Amino acid sequence: MREDATIYYVLWVMLLVLTLFERVQKRPFSREIVSIVFIIAAVIVGCRYDVGADWSNYVNFYYTGVIYEGGFERSVEPLYVFLQNVFRGLGFTHAVFFMFLSVISLCCYYKASKLFGVKYFMTVLFVYFSLVFLNYQLNVIRQGMMASFVWLAFAYKTNGNIRAAIVSIVVALGFHFTAIAFIPFMYIGDKRLSLLSLGIIVGVSLICLALDVSYKILAFFPILETIDRTSNFVTSETYHVEGGLNFGMLGMLLVFLVVFYYFKDSYKSDSRLRMLTNIILFDFLLSCVFNTFSIFQERVCRVLFFSMVFLLPLIIEKNRKPLFRNIALTVVIVYAFLAYPKTFAVHDGYSTLLPYRIDLSQMFDGYKKY
């Protein structure tokens, strides 16, 4: 029997109402209102109790300094450890620390949305909540922090602030070493792609998908089987799934083509839009190349997919005519609604995110058993 997800849908509807209200009033919400929304979201994240596959591991790590992944004790990136030690040393509980991380992550997306030129942030938050919030704030905490700073780095890069982009990517590395995989995209992400380049990338993607090259990747990179941080991922059958061309991949390709053709002038002139659009295409490419290698899709492709968080709101805003803008908004809302249940990660009627439980006392009382 599937667990009740009512609370998540209530939150989804509330964000949708805020999104529509912001657009109806034709004026972005003030920073004060956004801050209140962030605090509420942080409480939901920080004060959850036994929600998320990694919850017990991270709580245990906060109090003992030991964390296990895949049944093995693992090292943790230095910035996360440093911040955790600071908060624990000051006497704060794990809930307060998780709330802090959540707020910082949301602030990164707020800043990035402004740098990418999105006017209405609540639409960004709505898409973010619908597509990735539950997985990247209630699960995989370190990777979620890494993703937020990676996208902040991308945003700074498109605005020509290279120094801030480098600092952001270094911070991202401090939370999760897989951030190194995104450095090349900082330099190739905003390049103008020709029709020929597009054809080659899509063609190579489909060929790799048809040939199922995923299982051949290790033959080219055998070192992955010996490195401590990757060996468990690449050798376990748990991280390989049956692949194929799915709805999400087709959706990414469709969004790219819409921007590439319908907003071709903006694509050529606006490096910010170009970065977001190209990242979606590169995500499609990597999703085809590593189609059945699910851990790579989760650790890399999924972070590139975050481009939709900013790109979909921009597509809405770039429609000059109200009719087209309303149609685009409706399509985004329907897409968000259809995609939202996937973030629960329900398998055989069970999800680590369901049912949602909250315990506000965790802000003041730590778990003494740790």
Q: What is the pLDDT of residues 25-58, one digit of tens each?
A: 889 999 999 999 999 999 999 999 988 878 888 8
pLDDT level of residue 355 (50, 70, 90 thresholds): confident
177 & 61 share domain:
yes
Provide the domain count of the chain: 2
3 & 33 share domain:
yes
272 & 297 share domain:
yes
Can you tell me the mean pLDDT for 152-181? 93
72 & 123 share domain:
yes
198 & 312 share domain:
yes
Q: What is the pLDDT of residues 259-300, one digit of tens each?
A: 888 888 888 888 899 999 999 999 988 888 877 666 666 777
- Closest listed residue to residue 291, CA positions, set 213, 191, 181: 213
What is the share, in percent, of the chain residues with pLDDT greater than 90? 42
Residue 189, pLDDT score = 86
304 & 175 share domain:
no
Residue 37 lies in a domain: yes
Residue 293, pLDDT score = 67
Q: Which residues, at least 6 apart from 70, have a Cβ–Cβ distance to it below 8 Å?
A: 232, 233, 236
Among candidate residues 274, 299, 318, the one where a domain is terminated = 318
Note down the domain range covering 298: 189-318
Residue 117 lies in a domain: yes
Residue 240, pLDDT score = 46
Q: What is the pLDDT of residues 172-204, one digit of tens each?
A: 999 988 888 899 998 888 889 888 988 898 888
DSSP assignment, residue 68?
A: E
Residue 325 lies in a domain: no
CA gyration radius for the chain? 20
Helix (H) or strand (E) holding 67: strand 67-69
70 & 210 share domain:
no
Residue 329 lies in a domain: no
Residue 239 has pLDDT above 50, yes or no: no
DSSP assignment, residue 133?
A: I
Q: What is the pLDDT of residues 199-237, one digit of tens each?
A: 898 888 888 888 777 666 655 655 455 444 554 555 544
Query: Residue 209 burial (CB < 10 Å; 0-12/13-18/19+)?
Result: buried
Can you tell me the mean pLDDT for 307-324? 90
38 & 94 share domain:
yes
Would you say 137 and 102 are in contact if contact means Cβ atoms under 8 Å apart?
yes
Residue 335 lies in a domain: no
Residue 333 lies in a domain: no
3-state SS, residue 69 = strand
Backbone angles phi, psi at 366, to 5 degrees: -75, 175
Backbone angles phi, psi at 73, to 5 degrees: -70, 130
Side chain identity, residue 261: Y
Residue 247 lies in a domain: yes
3 & 122 share domain:
yes
| Selected residue with higher pLDDT from 319 and 128 | 128
70 & 160 share domain:
yes
370 & 261 share domain:
no
Q: What is the pLDDT of residues 56-77, one digit of tens each?
A: 888 888 888 777 665 555 677 8
Residue 345, pLDDT score = 65
19 & 139 share domain:
yes
Residue 27 lies in a domain: yes
